[in-house]
Amino acid sequence: MSTKAQTFSLDFFLALTIFLAGFVLLLIFWNYTNSQIQERKSLDELIDAAFSLSQIWFIEGRPVYWNEQNVKVIGLANENRINQTKLNFLNEMGYEEVKKRLNVGYNFCFRIHNNTHELFSFGLSPSPASAVVKVDRLSILNSTPVIIEVIVWG
C-alpha cells in the first residue's frame, strides 16, 4: 500500500502567507526603528555641536589676546566679558576660516542682541533644514547684558 502525501495544501499556503506577512511587518518595523535611531543620533550630534560652539563666548582662547594671524584656539571673552576686538577679528577671519578652525561640520550663525536690537551677527543665515538647533546664552558686551544666539543646522 502506497501513501501519497499532499505537500501543497490550503493549510500550507495559509501558514506561509501568515509567516510572510509577519516577516514583512517585522522588516518594516526594523527599518522604521533604525531610521528613528539615526535621526536621533544626528540630532544629538547637532545639539553637541551647538553647545560646543556656544562655549567660545566664555573662553579667552589661545593666546589670550589673539588676532586673526596668531590664533590657535578661538575664544571671544576676556575677564568674563565679550571682547569687542575679538568680535572684529572674527569678522576679519571670515566664515570659512572660522568654521575650519572650530572644526565644525555644520553650518552656523552667531547673533548678539539686547532687548531692542541686534548688536552683532556672524555666519550664514539659517536656511530651511530638517534639523536646526538654537542655543541662547547670556553674557556681557560693553557693560551691557546681552543674549547670544548660536544657531546650528545640517
115 contacts: CB under 8 Å, gap ≥ 6: none
pLDDT in tens, 111-150: 999 988 999 999 998 878 778 999 999 999 988 999 999 9
Domain extents in the chain = 47-153
22, 90, 91, 92, 147 from 87: Cα distances, Å: 60, 5, 6, 9, 15
pLDDT in tens, 29-86: 999 999 999 999 999 999 999 999 999 999 999 999 888 889 899 999 998 899 999 9
Number of alpha helices (DSSP H) and beta strands (DSSP E) in the chain? 3, 6
Strand partners, 137: 148
6, 28, 34, 84 from 20: Cα distances, Å: 21, 12, 21, 66
